Chain A
């Protein structure tokens, strides 16, 4: 127990935790959306994120900015970031739709217990990451460093750099956009209707299959955004990145209240903080135990999470 150390470095640990938490939050959205509508855990979502990370690097490579290229000017950097976002979002959304098509839709007609869905999702997850692992020889793939971290301002002695600001701001903007989409548009209303009562929604003329495809796609788009931010921060992709990050993002979704969009944001940020604070207090060796412990504790004492499960809640 090192509470002194934790207090001394409180802001530094918090900044790092919030940055990672923002990425968790974006991935957590995928779990939350699917759970909110279908009431099942999309175990394969972690691999949806993983395919996005590779898409970013491959897109940059194809545009001529590979590992050994000189860092281009600001205009090109922004263009490349957008290109990376598009590539990652399309790939992740495509993977998510593929998972839905192969692992979920054939089953949905038979209406089996939800555990069966979980098992096919595990199968899909294993297939995806093994396939990518075999294709990449299970080695990491490096990306060009587009954004060099530079201190922008100092927060009580903790430096905050441009990459960290970019990640947190981008994540919050994406979350806000998604919430507006779900709450204000016609399609979003359809999603809420199915989440609230699938049968009644179907009677009112909502195409359930289309809504389900839509939520898988949105989850994939958000994971694609997370993948870009991950690459900007970490600088390389690896086939097995999904598992640990996925479980943590899932824990974040449960922490905030699975099925609740704002819960995913709060849960992600809190989990990022908890992880870094835990590492500060107990030592880095126990860092990975923190999210699992949080998950178990939350499910024991408040299974509905901090904000409760509420995507289907009616809104005027």
Chain B
């Protein structure tokens, strides 16, 4: 009994080893040689398609997909078709490095549209950059991302350092508010934005909210006692909605100003039409109907929805990579060279990347939107300093 078992077990172990030895090593880089004959390439989307943060990710994916589909539909494409590789990160920093590795190993991928959020960018961009994969993020706006020494990093929109001061200027110059109360939600995005606003306007006091908070009475007491005439909120609509509702319910009349994280119809739903009325929302994004060309109409036709936040930026980011392929660049180093030297007009702004991968911040248009009659309408472009 025991003998047979030992034999069986030992045999299995030896077999496993033999298999392992005979199996040979994983070959990497085999696809690279093929590129000469077959010039089809992939552009990777990197962001959340599922989970709590999926809404923005889907906007971005659809924008990028539109650019690529338009290219593939045109006859100029020859056999150099471009495929969009969806990489769903759920916005989870823990998953980001593994996804970055998978992108690196798929040598057909010449560039990445994303990562969508600043947190996952920090966890993934090092790997992508070390392996020469061109990164163009259409949405991660943390200013420090450009200072990490990632060679292939590019940002297709203004960072918080463009939106924050613009919001501050709007509060100071247009609203002419004397006392500004600045709030953030301690998130990477919200705090980053609020910190930039604080640099432009000196807050009379500051406060914080947290994810999932529904009772804001302590914060509102603080706002009331500060006598603020404007409230700036750095954060997302999920908390901003109930907060504004309670703020107005307590009779605070101060103008509510916030950023692109709140620029969503769900904000009005959460706050109620009456309370949301008059809220000012800034965004370094051009109103879709002001975007050049037929982008807004094409997007609507392709997806059935109006362009959402970051859709136009994603379209531009993908278009730059598509332009690289059009120019015959189908290897990572060539694409990187092309994008670094790129100078052209997209639907949102003019793209010419600095050494750090930023677009010219003074050229970034930050728009102010206003809630009027239960709708978010474009108000004006915030004047540049």
Residues of A within 8 A of B (CB): 5, 8-9, 12-13, 15-17, 19-20, 67-68, 133, 137-142, 144-145, 148-149, 151, 159, 161, 163, 230, 233-236, 238, 240-241, 243-245, 275-276, 279-280, 283-285, 287-288
Contact = CB atoms under 8 A, between A and B. Distances in A.
7 contacts: A13-B221, A67-B269, A140-B238, A142-B241, A163-B249, A284-B209, A287-B218
A284 B218 contact: yes
Interface in B252-279: 266, 268-275
B208 interface: yes
Contact of A230 (B214, B221, B222, B272): B214
Interface of B: 51-52, 54-55, 186, 207-210, 212-215, 217-222, 224-225, 237-238, 241-242, 245-246, 249-251, 266, 268-275, 374
A13 B218 contact: yes
Contacts, number: 119
A9 B225 contact: yes
Given A139-B55, A234-B246, A285-B186, A276 B269 contact: no
B269 A140 contact: yes
Contacts of B219: 279, 284
Given A276-B221, A285-B208, 5 more contacts: A137-B54, A145-B272, A233-B246, A276-B217, A284-B209
B226 to A, nearest CB: 10
Contacts of A279: 218-219
* Chain B interface mostly: helix
Given A151-B251, A234-B246, A12 B213 contact: no
A159 B251 contact: yes
A235 B272 contact: yes
Contacts of A288: 210, 213
A138 B211 CA distance: 13
Contacts of A238: 212, 238
Nearest to A24: B215
Contacts of A15: 217
A284 B207 contact: yes
B210 A68 contact: no
Given A12-B224, A234-B245, A284 B208 contact: yes
A166 B281 CA distance: 33
Nearest to B273: A68
Q: Which of B250, B266, B270, B271 has the most CB of A within 10 A?
A: B270
Contacts of A280: 218, 221-222
A233 B241 CA distance: 12
